[in-house]
Amino acid sequence: MAEITAALVKQLRDETSLPMMDCKKALTEAGGDIEAAKRKLREDGVKTMAARSDRATEEGRIGVYASVDKKVGAIVELQCESAPVSTNEDFVKLANDLALQLATGPGAKTADELWAQPSPSRKGMTLKDQKDELENKIREVFRLARLHRVDAPAGGFVHMAKIGVLVEVEGGNDQLAKDVALHVAAMNPKAATKDSLDPKLVAQEQEIQKERARQEGKPEAIIEKMIEGRMRNFYAENVLEEQPFVRDESQTVGALAKSGGMKVKKFVRWTLGESAATAS
């Protein structure tokens, strides 16, 4: 059995970021074998976190990876327990790795499927290994609450880690697609195009405008033409293509996209902790 020296304990502490006493205990149980001690610490950490699995995870961040050229995009919601952890460098990396692997790997329908896949940044480790190691250091529960992938050219944007957008496009480039995703994050349109807007919402608004025109004393013969004009404002408020671009209100998002040879097809906009909103 190798001697459990202070230097050996410190080495294990430096490599795992775990408490000195935990490192000394693991080394003792592993007979001084540092790699075996690391495995012991990981196993103990998994057991500890499993016992805490019912804890609330109300903080976290949205991770996005998107590429027009590679024709892929993915968005994930990784939750944790506290706000400070959501900005931890390794936690940010884990969220980004999840999005990258989901987009560029074989895909996944469930969180367990994705966790089992290789980590893009940690050679020889799965994403679950990466998660378990970080959970063991921080001692907070992480939860992959949502994941979504598109197999098409895409742009992405994340605002303050809490709002994430994935935009499916045709043509264009990464920067233009990202600009459109930024606009979706800021303005929260209900649909990408007029054709994809919920017909019930359109019909409801048309009736509202017709009744308003009648109350104004407008003749029925001209109300239909009036409604067509008034609906433009409704579309400008709710439809992505019709909205004035947030960075240059002199042009619509549709015009911006067209000028760059791009067409917006659909988008996904998530807010941390809320149900997904998808427009097509």
Say which CATH number the domain at 14 has.
1.10.8.10
- Residue 207's Cβ-side half-sphere holds a number of Cα atoms within 13 Å equal to 6
pLDDT of residue 277: 43
Q: Both 167 and 109 in a single domain? A: yes
Contact criterion met (CB below 8 Å) for 185 and 156: no
Does 23 map to a domain?
yes
Asked if the model's pLDDT at residue 279 lies above 60, the reply is no
Strand partners, 264: 169
Does 135 map to a domain?
yes
The mean pLDDT of 13-28, rounded to a whole number, is 79
Q: Both 33 and 163 in a single domain? A: no
pLDDT of residue 275: 56
Q: In which band, very low, low, confident or very high, does the pLDDT at 278 lie, cut at 50, 70 and 90?
A: very low
Q: In which band, very low, low, confident or very high, does the pLDDT at 245 lie, cut at 50, 70 and 90?
A: very high
Q: Both 26 and 86 in a single domain? A: no
Asked if the model's pLDDT at residue 276 lies above 50, the reply is no
Antiparallel, parallel or unpaired: β 244-245 and 248-252: antiparallel
Does 218 map to a domain?
yes
Q: Between residues 60 and 40, which one has the greater pLDDT?
A: 60
Domain holding 29, by residue range, is 6-50
| Alpha helices by DSSP H, the chain | 6-16, 20-29, 34-50, 83-86, 89-104, 111-115, 127-138, 174-187, 199-215, 220-238, 253-259
Q: Both 144 and 271 in a single domain? A: yes
The mean pLDDT of 157-186, rounded to a whole number, is 98
pTM of the model: 0.80
Does 184 map to a domain?
no
Asked if the model's pLDDT at residue 53 lies above 80, the reply is no
- Residue 81's Cβ-side half-sphere holds a number of Cα atoms within 13 Å equal to 11
Q: Both 89 and 18 in a single domain? A: no
What does the alpha-carbon distance between residue 78 and residue 30 come to, in Å, rounded to a whole number? 34
What does the mean pLDDT of the chain come to?
A: 90
Q: How many domains does the chain have?
A: 3
Read off the pLDDT of residues 96-110 as tens digits, 9 standing for 90 and up.
999 999 999 999 999
The residue count for the chain: 280
Q: Residue 217 — left, alpha, or beta (φ > 0 → left; ψ -120 to 50 → alpha)?
A: left
For residue 279, the SS3 value is strand
Task: Specify burial of residue 42 (Cβ count, 10 A radius: 0-12, 13-18, 19+).
Answer: middle
Asked if the model's pLDDT at residue 127 lies above 50, the reply is yes
Q: Both 19 and 64 in a single domain? A: no
Asked if the model's pLDDT at residue 209 lies above 90, the reply is no
The mean pLDDT of 165-190, rounded to a whole number, is 98
Q: Both 93 and 64 in a single domain? A: yes
Q: Report the candidate in 42, 44, 41, 12 with the shortest Cα–Cα distance to residue 2.
A: 12
Q: Both 40 and 16 in a single domain? A: yes
Read off the pLDDT of residues 215-226 as tens digits, 9 standing for 90 and up.
887 877 788 778
Does 63 map to a domain?
yes
pLDDT of residue 126: 97
For residue 64, the SS3 value is strand
